[in-house]
Chain A
Amino acid sequence: MMTTLVAARVSLSPGRVGAVINRNVGALRSGPSYWIVLISGFFEPLLYLLSIGVGVGALVGDLNVDGHTMSYAAFVAPAMLAVSAMSGALAETTFNFFFKLKYMKTYEAVLATPVRPFEIAVGELVWAVARGSVYTVTFLGFMVAMGLTTVAGALAAFPATVLIGLAFGAVGMWVSTLMRGWQDFDLLGTGQFAMFLFSGTFSPVQDYPVGVEILIQLTPLYHAVELVRGLCTGIVGPGIVVNIAYLAVMVVGGLWLASRRVEKMLCV
């Protein structure tokens, strides 16, 4: 009985997942506003890269990380990329997802059709990552053009950014189902920003006191940054397995919890 229920919960029809994504494509066409937000999103990580990577980088000079010497821009760029993959997916699965869940009642209408909560979660996640990937691909293009990584490094890093998008998107979706109101988004934003500052983004985590370093290694963005930096710089150690496993658990766990919450909220 239990196994059939589990099977029913996670079995999904590609057509119905596609229909969930189709709704978002339709909304894109609804007006120029969404496009403006979407397209202008390109510039944000690029500006950060130029300001911190190149501007501050000129002050820093070269950096020595684990015995490898690299320019500060080459150190920061992969971290910016990981952050971009995270925020691209989160923008869709937190703010927009919450709005559709709580205010637009979009999913209430969808659940009256054959579509299941798990299919909604998967559809929204795939859409979020597809949207975020537009940014990461452009960003990787900038990085190659600026000589901050190789073409091979960019090709290896792209699937990693997809995994990061899936991981943060899935967990973000679950967190959105727990949100009480807009004020909780301030907390989420604060958490996101704190991770952005301290996940080895701007300076190596080894610089922090050991206790802080271990604490940081428990948070997700650290693993995302490590994974992308390793692939972009070509300095890959065995730790990459841990990074990937950590993110994979986020994908599976986040999706599972998110669809369960949607079911609990809307199918009572």
Chain B
Amino acid sequence: MADQSLIHARGLVKRFGDFTAVDGIDLEVAPGEAFGFLGPNGAGKSSTMRMIGCVSTPTAGELRILGMDPVRDGTRIRARLGVCPQLDNLDPDLSVRENLTTYARYFGVSRAEARTRADELLEFVQLSDRANGKVEPLSGGMKRRLTIARAMVNDPDLVLLDEPTTGLDPQARHLVWERLFRLKQRGTTLVLTTHYMDEAEQLCDRLVVMDGGKIVAEGSPRALIENYSTAEVVELRFADGLDSNAQYAAKLDGIGDRVDPLPDRVLLYADDGDEAMAEVHRRGLTPESVLVRRSTLEDVFLHLTGRTLVD
């Protein structure tokens, strides 16, 4: 199994001084998979990504990327990786196309080949009309698409994306997702980090939930929701909210699988939301607003850690 995995980690640890960023995680990523790290800021996602990208040395544990040792074979591994960092580091001195051709040269791609690939990739990320322009005037979404194109310039076996849509507006996010989905369809192995549950649900075949440097759950988005949440969630807001949410939660006890009082609302986990609401009304409670929705990874995370993902 470990031989076919693109990423294989056992007890992987990264410490910075006294601070443990990654606290003994196990991973296995197979070819063709879209694999995600979901967690809040500071969960250890980026540190893990940097170790996988062979720019950060593991403090302890076992790590093999593409069947090789990242400390000894870092150069050979990086030759087959594509990396899209969290913050764009495109080269403002170069044109859009030159950003790709110049980067390709770092991988030893010939000049002619670099030009061909650059044009194909610009087409793919819908930036052909900006090819000769400067990087600076591009919008955030365009820059991110260009960074993704740059990560593809060596035709990598494994693409690492660190929070690919953080900081983008909704429309730009959907464009990026759509392009990443195409990559996935082509059979490219994607590994991404995110703190957006919708992103994880959209893109990942399988994901791990990270918190405090540890993996707290693993599975497909569907399986995680089934295992750690109910099919539906009812969000109740009461007029006199705040301090009294805990009291309301006590009155709601026994409805559905679980009741979670949050500062601004009470969550009611149930497989049938409407049935749960009927029971709420039967108990004589009249919330100011009611929302019945499908369960998401956010609920999974809340259940696993007692905290929300984005605060």
- State yes or no: do A and B touch (Cβ within 8 Å): yes
**A109/B107 in contact, CB under 8 A:** no
What does the 1/0 interface line of A57-99 toward B look like (CB < 8 Å)?
0000000000000000000000000000000000000000000
Query: Which residue on chain B has the smallest CB distance to residue A112?
Result: B83
Whether A105 touches B87, Cβ cut-off 8 Å, given contacts A26-B94, A113-B103, is: yes
Decide yes or no whether A40 CB sits under 8 A from chain B: no
Bound complex: CA A87 to CA B245 (Å): 69
Q: How many A-B residue pairs have CB under 8 A?
A: 76
**A27/B93 in contact, CB under 8 A:** yes
Chain B contributes a number of interface residues (CB within 8 A of A) equal to 32
Bound complex: CA A26 to CA B92 (Å): 11
**B94/A27 in contact, CB under 8 A:** yes
What does the 1/0 interface line of B48-89 toward A look like (CB < 8 Å)?
000001011100000000000000100110110101010101
For B89, give its contact among A26, A105, A267 (CB under 8 Å). Answer: A105
Question: B101 to chain A: which residues have CB within 8 Å?
Answer: 26
Residue in B53, B57, B78, B102 whose Cβ sees the most chain A Cβ within 10 Å = B102
B209 → chain A closest CB, angstroms: 25
| Chain A residues touching B, majority SS | helix
For A115, give its contact among B53, B83, B95, B106 (CB under 8 Å). Answer: B106
**B57/A30 in contact, CB under 8 A:** no
Decide yes or no whether B306 CB sits under 8 A from chain A: no
For B81, give its contact among A16, A108, A112 (CB under 8 Å). Answer: A112
**B76/A112 in contact, CB under 8 A:** no
Decide yes or no whether B91 CB sits under 8 A from chain A: yes
**B85/A109 in contact, CB under 8 A:** yes
**A110/B87 in contact, CB under 8 A:** no
Query: Which residue on chain B has the smallest CB distance to residue A103?
Result: B92
Bound complex: CA A116 to CA B55 (Å): 10
**B106/A19 in contact, CB under 8 A:** yes
**A112/B93 in contact, CB under 8 A:** no
**B53/A112 in contact, CB under 8 A:** yes
Cβ < 8 Å to B, chain A residues 1-52 = 8, 13, 15-16, 18-20, 22-23, 26-27, 29-30
Closest 7 CB pairs of A and B: A105-B89, A27-B93, A19-B105, A113-B106, A112-B83, A109-B89, A114-B79
List 15 other contacts, CB 8 Å, given A29-B98, A110-B106, A114-B108. Answer: A15-B108, A19-B105, A19-B108, A20-B106, A23-B91, A23-B94, A26-B93, A109-B85, A109-B89, A109-B91, A112-B53, A112-B81, A266-B55, A267-B56, A268-B16
Q: Residues on B close to A: CB < 8 A?
A: 16, 53, 55-57, 72, 75-76, 78-79, 81, 83, 85, 87, 89-95, 98, 101-103, 105-108, 134, 150, 154
